[in-house]
C-alpha cells in the first residue's frame, strides 16, 4: 500500500507523507496521475476488449490446481457456494500477542465479515540473509488457527514487497547492499527473494483451504503499478514472483492489487498475469487535519465500467479500500483520521463500491495496531491506529465499527446482490430530484430476484438534506414511492440501499426504503430488522395473501390491498414491531440498530441479539444457549430466535436468569465498574545510568566496527566521504546510530560541517570529546540536515573524537520500481573538518547500531527492536537489569545537560484481567526543558518513540500479554536531551487505564520476554 495513483481523478497518489513544503503541489501531481490513468485505462481497455482475450479466459485455469476456490465474473465460489468476501486488513505482527489474535478475529466476525487480509513482513523474518525464522510472536500457525476457530477466511499477502508504512516497505535492511534494482528482474534482486518466498510460501501453503486451513487467496507482490526509468510493467519479474509462490505449494487463486484501476497484470495480459484482477482505492486521501472536508472528484462513478473493460471474467475486487488514514510525524493525530474516514464516509463510499458490484471488498485497515520496535517507516510514528474501525487498544468505541456491521450483515442475507448487474449512476431516471443520484443493480429476472438501488447525493460532499420521490421498476410494474406520504429524505453525507422484489426467507418485499439489517427464520416465525436515520419517513410493502389483521402501534400507518400490505412510519425513538401473521418486522432507528448482533449458531442459522457491547459467538447444545459477549454497562440482553427448548442461558459460561417472551428470551446483565489499582509511576523505585558513556575520556571503542568500506553498492545515494558512512553498509538497519570520528588536531580547526540523514522527524546530537557542540532537533518534513558547528581551540597534535548520535527513523519505502528510494542511507552523508580555507583534517570513523547488527542478539523480540544506545547494547532495557550498579533516581526531573540517560523500574500490577478487558496506556504530559526524544520499553519491548516538539503522539497503548497484568513488569525510558536547558527539565509520565469491559474473550497468555543476562561481546 501507499503511493496511490488515481483513476478518473478518484484514487489517491500517496500514503507516504509529503513534506509540508510540497503540500501545495500535491494536487497537481494528483491530476497528472489522474490523466495518465484515464489514458491507460482507455487504451488498454480498447486493446483487450478488441482482442477478446479477457472474455476467453480458459475455464481450466480456474480449477487446474484445485477446485475448492473458483470464480466467475460475479464472485468467488468456496466449496461450490457463491460468497461475498467482506474483509478487513490486520497484520498480526503489529499486535505481538498471539493470544489476542482471536479477539480481533471475533470482533471482525461479529461485524458480519468473513475474511481478513494480512501482510507478512520479510524484515522481521529474515533479518540476516539466509536465516529465516518465524517463531514466537512471528509465527503464523497461531494466526491461522485463530482464523479457523473464528470462522474467518484469509487473503495472504507476503510480498516480497508490502509497503504497509513499515521500514523499507517490509524489505530486510540487507537488501540495501544488493547491486541490482529492487522489484525488477535483475538477477541478484530476484535471487535475494528466493529463500523468503520459499519459506513463507510453504507456511502459507500448509494453511490453504485445500489443506483444511483458512487461506483462500494469495497476492503476489503488492501494488506493482508504476515504474520509472525501466521497462514497465515487467512481466518477467511478476511471473518470477508468481512462480515462486506456485513452487512453494500455493494452489489457491492469485489475486492482484493494482494501485489504481489501470489493468496491470490483469488476466489475459500476458506474462505475469494473475488469476483475479483487483485494485486499490484511497479516494479522499489523507488530510486528517481537515476531517470534515472531502476533496472533489474523489468518488468514482465508473468503477464497474472500468472493470468490464479490464477484467470482465473476474469478480470486481477491491483489495485495499480506504478504511482509515495514516498520520505523519507532526500530524493532527489518529482521532482526527477516525473522524475523517468515519461512518459517513463508509455510508457514501462503501455503498458506492457496492453500487459498482464489488464482491471482494477488503478495508485497509480494520485494525491497525502498533509500530513497536522500529517497525514503522520514517513517515509515521509508533501508533498505527490508522483511524480504523477497531482502535489500537482493540476497543469498539468508534461509530464506524457499528456502521460497518449494518452493511456487512445486510450483505450476508442478500445473496441476490452477488449476481445483480450494476448499471450507470443516473439522475432524473429513478428519483425526481437532480440532487439525488441513483445506481440500479438489476436482478436476474429469470431467477425471480429483485433489484437494489443505491441512492446518494449527486454532490457526494453535500451536508444538506434533500427530499425526493422514486419510480421503481418491480415485478408489479413501475411504482411510485412513497405511496402513503409525500417525500423521502436523504440527509447530508448519507447513502441508502433501497430494495425491490426482495426475498425474506420466502416472503417478498415489493420494496423497502428503510434499510435492511438482517432477516432470519426461526421455526414458523420470520423476523426482518429494518432501520433508518433520524428525522426520516420510510415505507415498506409486503406481498402477502393473509387476511389476518396487522398488529402494530399507532406510529405505523398501514394500507392493505388484496395481496399487498404497505407500512409507513417516521423513524421511531424506540423499537416498533409490526406483526403480519408469523412475519415480524422490527423497525429501528439507526443508533438502536447499532446494538444488534447476528451471531451464527450453526452453519445454517443465526440468532438476533440486542444489548451487549459485543457478541463474539453463540452456540446451542442440549437445551443450553451460550453467548460469548462483552459489556461496558448494565445491559438488557434480548435474544430473538432462541430455540423454543432453551432451558439454560449461559453468558460467558455463567448461568444467567432469563424470561421467555414471544419468540425471544430476555435477561439482565448487571455491571459494576471494577476498582482498578493503577500504580503511580512516580512512586516506583527508579534507577538510572548514563547511556552515552561514549563521550567520556575513558571510553574505549576498539571493538566497534571500522567504517572502512571505500565503496558502496548503494544505487540510490552517491558516496561523498572517503569511506562509506552509510549504516546499512555495515548491517545496522534500525534504531539509534552512533558514529565516533577520531582525528589528530592541526590546531587550526575552527568548524565542523556535517550532513546526516535519518528519515523524516529524525535528529542528531554531536559532541567533541565531552563538549556538546549542538543538535539538529528535527522537523516533521526533513529527512536530512546539514549543520556547521563552531569548535573550541584545539591543541596541535592532540587526539580528539567526535561522537555523533543519529536517530534512525526507519528506511523509506521502495514503492516505485526503478528508483530504489528504500536504499536512501541512514548515517553521515558528508562532513568537513576545516583546518584552513583549502585544507581539512582527516577523520577515521567507527560506528555502531544494535549489538550484532544483522546478527541480532534478541531472537524473541526480533531484528528491529533494538538500536545502538549503550543501554540497548548492554540489554539494560530487558527485565531485571543489574540495576544495583545504577544510580537511584527518577526520570521526572532529569539533568539539564544534553545527553542520553536510561531509567528503569519494576512495576507490579494486579488487575482483574480474567474478567475484564482493560486498555492501558503510558502517557507523556507537560514534558519541559528543551527538545527531548524518549524511547519507552515494556518488559524489553520498545513500545513507544516520543518526540515531544514534533508529536503528535503522547499516549502509547501497550497490550496485555506484553504487560503482565498480574505480576512484575519492567519499564525502561531512554531519555535523549538534545538542548541545554536553563529550566529544570520536567517529565510527567503516567500509566492510565481506558474503559474496562466485562469480556468473554479467552484469557491472555503472556508472551515470552527473556530477562537480562550478560551479553557476550557487549560494548
Pick the CATH number of 681-685+869-998 from 3.40.50.300, 2.60.120.260, 3.30.300.30, 3.30.70.2340: 2.60.120.260
Confidence of residue 446 (pLDDT cuts 50, 70, 90): low
Average pLDDT over residues 703-725: 96
Residue 46 predicted with pLDDT over 70 = no
Residue 845 predicted with pLDDT over 80 = yes
Residue 53 predicted with pLDDT over 80 = no
Cis status, amide bond into 947, omega within 30 of 0: no
Confidence of residue 447 (pLDDT cuts 50, 70, 90): low
Whole-Å CA distances, 542 to 295, 473, 506, 608:
41, 16, 11, 21
Average pLDDT over residues 965-974: 98
User: Best-predicted range by mean pLDDT among 553-562, 924-933, 963-972?
Assistant: 963-972
Residue 712 predicted with pLDDT over 70 = yes
Higher pLDDT, 314 or 25: 314
Confidence of residue 448 (pLDDT cuts 50, 70, 90): confident
> Would you tell me how many other CB atoms lie within 10 Å of the CB of residue 400?
23
pLDDT of residue 61: 45
105-116 pLDDT per residue, tens: 999 999 999 999
Q: Which range has the worst mean pLDDT, 58-72, 789-803, 884-898?
A: 58-72
pLDDT > 90 in the chain, percent: 89
SS3 10: coil
Residue 785 predicted with pLDDT over 50 = yes
Strands 583-589 vs 525-532: parallel, antiparallel or unpaired: parallel
805-829 pLDDT per residue, tens: 999 999 999 999 999 999 999 999 9
Beta bridge partners of 281: 321
How does DSSP assign 582-633, residue by residue? TEEEEEEEHHHHTTEE--EEETTEE-EEESSSEEEEEEEETTEEEEEEEBSS
Residue 34 predicted with pLDDT over 70 = no
pLDDT of residue 44: 40
Give the residue numbers marked as catalytic. 223, 320
Cell 520498545 locates to 942
pLDDT of residue 715: 87
Q: Could you tell me the residue ranges of all domains in the chain?
A: 20-396, 415-612, 681-685+869-998, 693-848
Cis status, amide bond into 260, omega within 30 of 0: no
Average pLDDT of the chain to the nearest whole number: 93
pLDDT of residue 930: 82
SS3 579: strand
Residue 49 predicted with pLDDT over 70 = no
Pick the CATH number of 20-396 from 2.60.40.10, 3.20.20.80, 2.60.120.680, 3.40.50.140: 3.20.20.80
Residue 51 predicted with pLDDT over 60 = no
Residue 39 predicted with pLDDT over 80 = no
Q: Which range has the worst mean pLDDT, 192-196, 291-295, 570-574, 894-898?
A: 894-898
Evaluate whether 681-685+869-998 and 693-848 have a shared fold.
Answer: yes
983-1011 pLDDT per residue, tens: 777 899 999 999 999 999 999 999 999 99
CATH T-level fold of 693-848: Jelly Rolls (2.60.120)
pLDDT of residue 986: 84
Higher pLDDT, 983 or 311: 311
Residue 120 predicted with pLDDT over 60 = yes
The three three-digit cell numbers of residue 583, written as one number: 412475519
Do the Cβ atoms of 347 and 403 come closer than 8 Å? yes
Confidence of residue 896 (pLDDT cuts 50, 70, 90): confident
Alpha helices by DSSP H, 9-100: 26-51, 60-63
Higher pLDDT, 52 or 523: 523
412-432 pLDDT per residue, tens: 999 999 999 999 999 999 999
Average pLDDT over residues 488-506: 97
- Residue 940 burial (CB < 10 Å; 0-12/13-18/19+)? buried
pLDDT > 70 in the chain, percent: 93
Indicate the DSSP class of residue 255.
Answer: B
Gap between the Cα atoms of 41 and 264, Å rounded: 10
Average pLDDT over residues 946-975: 97
pLDDT of residue 273: 97
Taking domain 415-612, whether its CATH number is 2.102.20.10 is answered by yes
How does DSSP assign 119-176, residue by residue? E--HHHH-SBTTB----GGG-SHHHHHHHHHHT-EEEEEEES---TTBGGGG--GGGG
Q: What are the helix and strand counts (H, E) for the chain?
A: 14, 57
Residues of the chain by 3-state class (helix, strand, coil), percent to 5: 20, 35, 50
Residue 394 predicted with pLDDT over 60 = yes
Confidence of residue 177 (pLDDT cuts 50, 70, 90): very high
Average pLDDT over residues 49-65: 44
Beta bridge partners of 903: 688, 973
The three three-digit cell numbers of residue 466, written as one number: 434533500
Using only C-alpha atoms, the chain has a radius of gyration, in whole angstroms, of 30
SS3 205: helix
Global model pTM greater than 0.75: yes
Dihedral angle computed from the Cα positions of residues 13, 18, 22 and 25, in that order, rounded to the nearest 10 degrees: 10
642-698 pLDDT per residue, tens: 999 999 999 999 999 999 988 899 999 999 999 999 999 999 999 999 999 999 999
Residue 80 predicted with pLDDT over 80 = yes
pLDDT of residue 983: 75
Residue 43 predicted with pLDDT over 50 = no
Gap between the Cα atoms of 223 and 11, Å rounded: 13
Amino acid at each position: 500500500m501507499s503511493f496511490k495513483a488515481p483513476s478518473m481523478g478518484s484514487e489517491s497518489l500517496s500514503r507516504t507523507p509529503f513534506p509540508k513544503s510540497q503540500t501545495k503541489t500535491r494536487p497537481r501531481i494528483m491530476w497528472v496521475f489522474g490523466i495518465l490513468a484515464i489514458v491507460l485505462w482507455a487504451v488498454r481497455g480498447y486493446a483487450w476488449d478488441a482482442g477478446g482475450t479477457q472474455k476467453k479466459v480458459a475455464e481450466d485455469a480456474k480449477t487446474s490446481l484445485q477446485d475448492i476456490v473458483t470464480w466467475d465474473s460475479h464472485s468467488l465460489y468456496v466449496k461450490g457456494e457463491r460468497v461475498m468476501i467482506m474483509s478487513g486488513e490486520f497484520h498480526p505482527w503489529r499486535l505481538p500477542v498471539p493470544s489476542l489474535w482471536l479477539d480481533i478475529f471475533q470482533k471482525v466476525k461479529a461485524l458480519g465479515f468473513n475474511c481478513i487480509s494480512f501482510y507478512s513482513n520479510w524484515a522481521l523474518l529474515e533479518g540476516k540473509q539466509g536465516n529465516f525464522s518465524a517463531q514466537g510472536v512471528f509465527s503464523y500457525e497461531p494466526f491461522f488457527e485463530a482464523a479457523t476457530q473464528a470462522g474467518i477466511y484469509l487473503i495472504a499477502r507476503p510480498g516480497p514487497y508490502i509497503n504497509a508504512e513499515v521500514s523499507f516497505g517490509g524489505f530486510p535492511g540487507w537488501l540495501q547492499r544488493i547491486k541490482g534494482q529492487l522489484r525488477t528482474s535483475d538477477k541478484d534482486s530476484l535471487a535475494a527473494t528466493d529463500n523468503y518466498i520459499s519459506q513463507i510460501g510453504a507456511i502459507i501453503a500448509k494453511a490453504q483451504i485445500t489443506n483444511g486451513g483458512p487461506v483462500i487467496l494469495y497476492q503476489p507482490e503488492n501494488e506493482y503499478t508504476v515504474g520509472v526509468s525501466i521497462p514497465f510493467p515487467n512481466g518477467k519479474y511478476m511471473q518470477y514472483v508468481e512462480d515462486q509462490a506456485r513452487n512453494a505449494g500455493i494452489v489457491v487463486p492469485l489475486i492482484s492489487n493494482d494501485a489504481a484501476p489501470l489493468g496491470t497484470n490483469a488476466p489475459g495480459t500476458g506474462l505475469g498475469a494473475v488469476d483475479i484482477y483487483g485494485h486499490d482505492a484511497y479516494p479522499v486521501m489523507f488530510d486528517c487535519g481537515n476531517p470534515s472536508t472531502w476533496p472533489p472528484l474523489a468518488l468514482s462513478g465508473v468503477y464497474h465500467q472500468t472493470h468490464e473493460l479490464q477484467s470482465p471474467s473476474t469478480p470486481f475486487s477491491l483489495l485495499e479500500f480506504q478504511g482509515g488514514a495514516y498520520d505523519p510525524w507532526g500530524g493532527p493525530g489518529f482521532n482526527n483520521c477516525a473522524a475523517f474516514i468515519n461512518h459517513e464516509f463508509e455510508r457514501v463510499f462503501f455503498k458506492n463500491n457496492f453500487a459498482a458490484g464489488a464482491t471482494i471488498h477488503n478495508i485497509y485497515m480494520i485494525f491497525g495496531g502498533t509500530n513497536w520496535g522500529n517497525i514503522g517507516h520514517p513517515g509515521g510514528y509508533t501508533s498505527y491506529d490508522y483511524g480504523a474501525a477497531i482502535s489500537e487498544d482493540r476497543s469498539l468505541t468508534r461509530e464506524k465499527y457499528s456502521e460497518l456491521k449494518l452493511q456487512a450483515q445486510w450483505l450476508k442475507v442478500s445473496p441476490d446482490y452477488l449476481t445483480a448487474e450494476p448499471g450507470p449512476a443516473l439522475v432524473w431516471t429513478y428519483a425526481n430530484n437532480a440532487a439525488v443520484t441513483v445506481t440500479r443493480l438489476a436482478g436476474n429476472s429469470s431467477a425471480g430476484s429483485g433489484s437494489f438501488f443505491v441512492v446518494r447525493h449527486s454532490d457526494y460532499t453535500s451536508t444538506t438534506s434533500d427530499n425526493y420521490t422514486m419510480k421503481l421498476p418491480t415485478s408489479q410494474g413501475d411504482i411510485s414511492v412513497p405511496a402513503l406520504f409525500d417525500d423521502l429524505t436523504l440527509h447530508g453525507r448519507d447513502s441508502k440501499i433501497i430494495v425491490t422484489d426482495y426475498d425474506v426467507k420466502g416472503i417478498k418485499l415489493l420494496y423497502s426504503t428503510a434499510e435492511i439489517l438482517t432477516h432470519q427464520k426461526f421455526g414458523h416465525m420470520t423476523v426482518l430488522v429494518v432501520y433508518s436515520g433520524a428525522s426520516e419517513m420510510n415505507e415498506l410493502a409486503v406481498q402477502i395473501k393473509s387476511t389476518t389483521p396487522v398488529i402494530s402501534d399507532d406510529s405505523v400507518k398501514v394500507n392493505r390491498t388484496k395481496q399487498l400490505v404497505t407500512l409507513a412510519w417516521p423513524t421511531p425513538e424506540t423499537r416498533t414491531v409490526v406483526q403480519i401473521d408469523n412475519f415480524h418486522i422490527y423497525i429501528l432507528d439507526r443508533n438502536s440498530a447499532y446494538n444488534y448482533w447476528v451471531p451464527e449458531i450453526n452453519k445454517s442459522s443465526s440468532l438476533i441479539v440486542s444489548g451487549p457491547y459485543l457478541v463474539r459467538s453463540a452456540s446451542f447444545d442440549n437445551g443450553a444457549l451460550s453467548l460469548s459477549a462483552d459489556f461496558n454497562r448494565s445491559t438488557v440482553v434480548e435474544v430473538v430466535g432462541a430455540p423454543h427448548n432453551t432451558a439454560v442461558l449461559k453468558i460467558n459460561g455463567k448461568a444467567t436468569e432469563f424470561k421467555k417472551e414471544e419468540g425471544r428470551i430476555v435477561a439482565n446483565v448487571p455491571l459494576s465498574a471494577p476498582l482498578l489499582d493503577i500504580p503511580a509511576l512516580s512512586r516506583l523505585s527508579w534507577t538510572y545510568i548514563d547511556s552515552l558513556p561514549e563521550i567520556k575520556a575513558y571510553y574505549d571503542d576498539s571493538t566497534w566496527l571500522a567504517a572502512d568500506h571505500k565503496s558502496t553498492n548503494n544505487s540510490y545515494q552517491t558516496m561523498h566521504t572517503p569511506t562509506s558512512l552509510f549504516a546499512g553498509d555495515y548491517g545496522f538497519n534500525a534504531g539509534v546510530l552512533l558514529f565516533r570520528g577520531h582525528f589528530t588536531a592541526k590546531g587550526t580547526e575552527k568548524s565542523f560541517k556535517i550532513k546526516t540523514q535519518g528519515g523524516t522527524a529524525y535528529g542528531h546530537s554531536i559532541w567533541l570529546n565531552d563538549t556538546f557542540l549542538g543538535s539538529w532537533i528535527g522537523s516533521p518534513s526533513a529527512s536530512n540536515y546539514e549543520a556547521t558547528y563552531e569548535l573550541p581551540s584545539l591543541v596541535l597534535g592532540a587526539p580528539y573524537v567526535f561522537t555523533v548520535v543519529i536517530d534512525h527513523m526507519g528506511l523509506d519505502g521502495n514503492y516505485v520500481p526503478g528508483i530504489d528510494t528504500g536504499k536512501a542511507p541512514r548515517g553521515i552523508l558528508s562532513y568537513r573538518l576545516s583546518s584552513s580555507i583549502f585544507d581539512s583534517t582527516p577523520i577515521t570513523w567507527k560506528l555502531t547500531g544494535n549489538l550484532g547488527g544483522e546478527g541480532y542478539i534478541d531472537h524473541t523480540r526480533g531484528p528491529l527492536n533494538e538500536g545502538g544506545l549503550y543501554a540497548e547494547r548492554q540489554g539494560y532495557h530487558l527485565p531485571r537489569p543489574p540495576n544495583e550498579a545504577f544510580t537511584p533516581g527518577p526520570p521526572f526531573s532529569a539533568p539539564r545537560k544534553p545527553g542520553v540517560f536510561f531509567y528503569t523500574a519494576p512495576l507490579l500490577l494486579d488487575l482483574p484481567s480474567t474478567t475484564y478487558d482493560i486498555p492501558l496506556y503510558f502517557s507523556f504530559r507537560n514534558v519541559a526543558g528543551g527538545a527531548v526524544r524518549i524511547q519507552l520499553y515494556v518488559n524489553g519491548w520498545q513500545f513507544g518513540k516520543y518526540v515531544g516538539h514534533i508529536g503528535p503522539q503522547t499516549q502509547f497503548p501497550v497490550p496485555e500479554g506484553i504487560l503482565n497484568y498480574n505480576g512484575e513488569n519492567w519499564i525502561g525510558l531512554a531519555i535523549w536531551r538534545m538542548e541545554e536547558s536553563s529550566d529544570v527539565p520536567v517529565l510527567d509520565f503516567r500509566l492510565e487505564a481506558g474503559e474496562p469491559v466485562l469480556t468473554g474473550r479467552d484469557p491472555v497468555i503472556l508472551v515470552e520476554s527473556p530477562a537480562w543476562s550478560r551479553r557476550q561481546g557487549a560494548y
